[in-house]
Structure 1
């Protein structure tokens, strides 16, 4: 994922699509898809020859979209969020509600994953303990 503060600023003329893909960690295909799917909040700049040029605001938005997708937000919801941002001031309560609902879903999934991880940790500890004791029998004991 994009680490905005760890990279040099994009040049004033912007980045090519390949450079933007490298900076953001997504493919050129994904960048084009985000644009076609209506996920970008500003039109991507073009050179006189029609080639895309990405600027810092584009990179920050792509980073946000990538993070939202990575946390399971559906494309249609990201599109709705992009529409709200594009519409400008006045819909902040709706934006906030959208993000809070997603945050609640992500937090619930994290809680579930932490529970799964605790069970895995228990089994790992059991195996380590038995191996340390030299006991290899009974490795699958459902009650443990």
Structure 2
């Protein structure tokens, strides 16, 4: 069985059906919240590839491109370095023989996210303690 990496986190519904999915850069900006500068930069650094161009040279994005951008946004939220995101994109383009390397990269990112979550949970406990302390109306001289 051959598996393809069709990008996780696809939107629930695309604005246009497959086959009619040729979005201008301004439509992608509106849909994703990314800037046109960011979209061009993603293409320049290799995070986006093979963006179809119209006969006048304007970029035309597909539903598949929107799915990829949704996934890239998730990777950004993890704190994954851009260089690692570009490496992941290169591995996807290289084909199925890179599944192990892709998985390793994602597993390392998951470990980093779990560590950050633990740090944030610890920080939340400190904040909760302080909020409760101030809520107990402790004398001002005891509040730090």
Q: TM-score when scaled to structure 1?
A: 0.85
C-alpha distance in 2, partners of 1:6/1:136? Answer: 55
Q: List aligned pairs for 1:1-144, cutoff 5 A.
A: 4-5=11-12, 8-9=15-16, 12-40=20-48, 42-130=49-137, 136-138=139-141, 140-141=143-144
Q: Of the two, which has the highest radius of gyration? A: 1
C-alpha distance in 1, partners of 2:77/2:126? Answer: 24
C-alpha distance in 2, partners of 1:59/1:89? Answer: 21
Q: Point out 4+ residue stretches in structure 1 off by more than 6 angstroms.
A: none
RMSD: 1.9
* Alignment size in residue pairs: 135
Q: TM-score when scaled to structure 2?
A: 0.85
Deviations 1:15-70 (CA, angstroms, capped at 9, x unpaired): 11011011111111110110001112x40111111101111110111111122122
Higher mean C-alpha deviation, range 115-124 or range 9-18: 9-18
Gap runs ≥5 in structure 1:
none
C-alpha distance in 2, partners of 1:8/1:63? Answer: 14
